[in-house]
A and B are shown apart, each in its own frame.
Chain A
C-alpha cells in the first residue's frame, strides 16, 4: 500500500480523496494555485504546495510542476480526481515514466477510449450495442449522407478526438449535412488538432444511464450498478440518482454485462464509468467510457457501501477487488444534487463571491461533499460547483423527501445558487415519477424558473433599508 499520495486536483474532490487517504493511513500532498491559497483542500492539508497562477494551465494542468512536487515530497502515486488531468493520457504516461503510480488506467487505455471513433469500433467488436452510424472516420459529406439515410435522421456528427459537445452537430436532413460538415470539421480541427468526424444516429430524448465499474490489475471486473444522470442542462448533470426506475432487473443485468464487456475490451484498471443512452423503447446504446472517478460517484457509494476512492487506491497498489459481482448488493435509493454558485434566472450566470455564512443540512443518511466554508471566496477561475448533497433513502420517494428536506435546511449566504431550482425540480411531475429524460429539465426550465423566483434573495436595498436612509439623510438637509 502507498504511504504518500499527491492529489492533483482542487475543491471538493481533492478533499474527498484526502478523506479516504486519511482513513487509510496514507499521507497526502496537495497542490494549489495562487488563487486557491485559502481553499479548503489547502487548509485541511498537512502538506500543500503552490504550483502556479490562477489559470488552470498555469497550475492544475502544469504537469511538470505537479510531478516535481510529487517527486520532491516522496509521493508514490498521484490521484488525478476528475476533470483537469484525470483523462490526460500524456500525464498518465509521464507519471509512470518518472516511476510513480497513476491512479487510474494507463495512458494507452485512456487514449483508446478517448478516441470516440476508435472506442465505437472497439465496442462493436466487443458486442456492446452502439447507435447506428459510421464504423470509423467519415471521409466526406457524401458518405455521411449515405450512412445517415441508412440509420435514419436525425443524426449527430461528432469530433473523433473530442468531447464536451465541441465539433458536434445535429443533422436532420441531407441539405444540413452538406452545410454543416465542413464547419464541424474546422471546429474539431481548431479544438482538438484533429478534424476527423464520425456519425451516429441521434437517440432523441433518451435517458442517460451509466454504470460504475471497478477493474483490478488481476483482470477482475465488476459493476456497482447504474446511475440515472438524465436531469441535465446543456449536457451538464444537475441531479443524479441510483438505481434508475426505468430499468428492470433483467435490463440492468444486460446493461451491466455490456458495461463489463466494454471495459474488458481494453486493458483497464481502476474505477471507470460506461455511459449509455436508453431510448423510448428501452433499447440502450453505448456512448463512452469515463476513465476516472466521477462527480456523482457518492450515490453509488451510498447504495453499495463501497468507498470507490478507497478501491481506486487499493487497485492501483495491486490489491484485488473486495467483492465479486454476485456479492454486490444495491440497498435503497440515493440521490445527489449539485449546488452551483450561479444564477439560474440570469441564464445561469456564474456567481463568484464570498460565502458570508452557510448552514449545511445534516441528519440521518445525508452526506455533504463540499469545499466551502464561511468566509471562503469562490474563485471565478474554476468550476462553479460548490457542494454536493447526497441522500440515501429506503426507497425512491423516501430519498426525494429527504433531499427536499435537506434543501429546505440549506442556506448559503453571499452568492446566488441553484438550490432553489433544485428544490422546485424535486416537485416536477416527471421527477416525482422518475420518467424524465435528458430533455426534461431544459423543456420545463421556464416553468421551474418561475417557481424558482420564490427563492430569490431580496435586493440588498431591501435587506438594509436603514443603511439606505442614512445615505439619503444628508441630501435632505
Chain B
C-alpha cells in the first residue's frame, strides 16, 4: 500500500505541473524570530515559549546562551542604568581587518562591547552587574573589556557595592594578542584590590566560560555560581583535541564536572538565579551584628528526635556506661548535624568545593542566618542508610573536605561572619587518596588557621568526634557537646588494640580513656553540655556568639 501512495504522489506531482494555472505560492520563509530548535534535544519551540521559559528547554533543561538584554531581564529588577562609557574602537596592535569585524559586532549585537555593566537592584539589593555577550566577538577579553571591569570594580569599591559578573567568553581576544593577555593580569589585580577592601565579588559562569576569562576574573569570585550544562574550561575541547589529540570523556568541562572537582560553589537553574543572588546579597549586606532570636524561635526550643526510646528515662540516661554512650553516639538514627543546623538556622545556602581538587560531600558548608545574623556554617555528614553512608564515606572526610572548610572559614573571616561548626565524624578518612593529597597537612593547616581566626567560632559535637578529623573542625572559641556525644583520640576499639592488643577489651577501654561529654566538661575540653533534645542550645549559642562578638570588638579596640 505504501508503494501505491508513493506512486500516486508522483503521478499527482506530474499532473500538477500541467494543471496548475496559478503561479505556485511563493515559499514563505519561516520568520527567524518564530521558532528555535533546542541545540541539545532538537525540541522545536516558538520563540515566545523560549522567551517565557527564560531560554531554558522545557524538555531537556538545556540552558541556551542568552545575550545581554535577556540576561538583564532575567536578573535585574526594573530601573537599572548602564554605567559604561560608550565604547570606542581601539586596535592596540594594528591588527588587519579587526576594525571591520568589531564594527560588525558593534552594529549587530545588543551590546557595544563584549561586556556591559549596569547599576541597579536584584531583589531590592543595590549592586553593580556585568554581563558578557558571546554575540560580540565571542565575548573575548579585549582591552575595552578589561578597562570596563577595572572601572566597575573601582566604582563598586568606592560606593561599597557588591559586584556580580556573568561571564561568557571564548577567552582572550586574538586580534589584540599580547594586549589581551595583559588584561588577564590587570583585571585579576583589580579583583584582588576590590576583595582586599572587603568587596563581595560573585562570578556567575555562563555558557561558555573558557580560556583567559576562566583563567582570570571568572575563577576569582568570592562565590562562583553557574548554570546547568555550562561549558567551563581553560583549554576548550577543540583546543585539547587539536593540540594534544586526547579524546575527552562525556560531561568533561561541564558545570557538573567542575562542581565535582571543587571549582564552582553551586549550579543554579536559571529560573532560581535571581532569587539565589538576592539571598547571597542579603546575607552579605546584613546590618545585623548580633544573634536576635525572636520569641517564636524559642517556642520551638526542643528537638523531637526521629526515634524516641520511651522506656529510657532521663534518670537512666545518667547511668549509662561510657561504651553505651559510644553506641548511642554512633546510632545512625541519632540527631545529625544537618538537623541541628536546620534547628538553629535559616536561609541556608550551601557552597561547595575546595577550589583545588574536589568537593567532599562529607563536609558541608555555606551561609545561613542564625537569629537573623549571617554566619558561616560547616558540618559533617554521615548518612542514615547504607546508600547514603557509602556516598558519604561513612562520615569520614577527605583532605578536600577540610580544605573546603578552611576556604569557607577564610571567607567568613574576610566578611566578619561568625562560624558555627557541627561535628559528627568517626575521624578523617585513612586511605591511599587521603594520604596522597596530604591529609596530615590539611588537618594541620586547619588547626593553625582555626585557632588564629578573629571571627567568633563555636563548635558543637553531636555524636562522634574522632581524633584529628574532629579537632580540625573544632578549634573554636567555645566547644559544646550533646550529652551522648563522645570525643576521642581514636576509637575505643583502636585504643584497646594498640594498648592491649585485644579488641574485646573495648568496653574497658571506653570506660578508661575518658570520652563522654561529662568527661570533656570535667577535663575543660568542652564548655557546655546539652541534652540530646537540644533544649537550651538556641539560647546558649545566641548568648555565646553575642558575648564573643562583644569581646572581639573590645579586643580590636
Q: Using a CB–CB distance below 8 Å, which chain A residues touch chain B?
A: 357, 359, 408, 411, 413, 420, 423-424, 427, 451, 454-455, 457-458, 463
Contact = CB atoms under 8 A, between A and B. Distances in A.
Name the 6 nearest CB pairs between A and B, nearest first. A454-B14, A411-B4, A427-B19, A357-B1, A413-B4, A455-B11
5 contacts: A359-B1, A427-B18, A454-B11, A454-B15, A463-B3
B15 A423 contact: yes
B8 interface: yes
Nearest to A458: B7
Interface string B1-45: 101110110011011001100000000000000000000000000
A427 B21 CA distance: 11
Nearest to A404: B19
For chain B, the bracket of interface size reads 10 to 19
A412 to B, nearest CB: 9
A209 to B, nearest CB: 28
A463 B4 CA distance: 10
Nearest to A423: B15
B1 A413 contact: yes
From B4, B5, B12, B19, name the one whose CB has the most chain A CB atoms within 10 angstroms: B4
Contacts of B1: 357, 359, 411, 413
Contacts of A359: 1, 4
Contact of A411 (B5, B14, B15): B5
B14 A457 contact: no
A420 B7 CA distance: 13
Nearest to B15: A454
A448 to B, nearest CB: 12
A21 B343 CA distance: 84
B12 A408 contact: yes
A420 B3 CA distance: 17
A389 to B, nearest CB: 16
Nearest to A456: B11
A254 B15 CA distance: 41
A463 B7 CA distance: 10
B4 A451 contact: no
Given A408-B8, A454-B11, A457-B7, 13 more contacts: A357-B1, A359-B1, A408-B12, A411-B1, A411-B4, A411-B8, A413-B4, A423-B15, A427-B18, A427-B19, A454-B14, A454-B15, A455-B11
A455 B11 CA distance: 6
Contacts of A427: 18-19
A451 B18 contact: yes
A424 B1 CA distance: 23
A411 B11 CA distance: 12
A463 B12 CA distance: 18
Nearest to A410: B8
A455 B15 CA distance: 9
A420 B15 CA distance: 10
Contacts of A411: 1, 4-5, 8
Contacts of A423: 15
A416 to B, nearest CB: 14
A427 B15 CA distance: 10
A55 to B, nearest CB: 34
A271 to B, nearest CB: 37
Nearest to B10: A454
Contact of A357 (B4, B11, B14, B19): B4
A427 B11 CA distance: 15
Contacts of A424: 15
From A420, A454, A458, A463, name the one whose CB has the most chain B CB atoms within 10 angstroms: A454
Contacts of A420: 11
Contacts of B18: 427, 451
Contacts of B4: 357, 359, 411, 413
Contacts of B11: 420, 454-455
Contacts of A454: 11, 14-15
B13 to A, nearest CB: 9
A457 B8 CA distance: 10
Nearest to A413: B4
Nearest to A424: B15
A339 B390 CA distance: 77
Nearest to B8: A411
B535 to A, nearest CB: 79
A457 B11 CA distance: 10
Nearest to A412: B4
Contacts of B19: 427
A463 B5 CA distance: 13
A431 to B, nearest CB: 12
Interface string B165-186: 0000000000000000000000
B244 to A, nearest CB: 50
B180 to A, nearest CB: 63
Interface string B503-523: 000000000000000000000
Nearest to A357: B1
A458 B4 CA distance: 11
A92 B4 CA distance: 46
B394 to A, nearest CB: 66
A359 B4 CA distance: 10
A464 to B, nearest CB: 10
Nearest to A374: B1
Interface in B405-444: none
Interface in B217-256: none
A134 to B, nearest CB: 47
A359 B2 CA distance: 12
Nearest to A464: B3
Contacts of A413: 1, 4
Contacts of B8: 408, 411
A28 B4 CA distance: 37
A430 to B, nearest CB: 16
Nearest to B9: A408
B486 to A, nearest CB: 81
From A408, A424, A457, A463, name the one whose CB has the most chain B CB atoms within 10 angstroms: A408
A449 B42 CA distance: 48
Nearest to B1: A357
B242 to A, nearest CB: 46
A424 B14 CA distance: 12
A166 B134 CA distance: 89
A413 B7 CA distance: 11
A359 B15 CA distance: 20
B177 to A, nearest CB: 63
A372 B11 CA distance: 24
Contacts of A357: 1, 4
Nearest to A457: B7
A413 B1 CA distance: 8
A309 B5 CA distance: 36
A343 B19 CA distance: 23
A95 to B, nearest CB: 45
A425 to B, nearest CB: 12
A186 B341 CA distance: 120
B341 to A, nearest CB: 69
A133 to B, nearest CB: 43
Contacts of A451: 15, 18
A458 B1 CA distance: 15
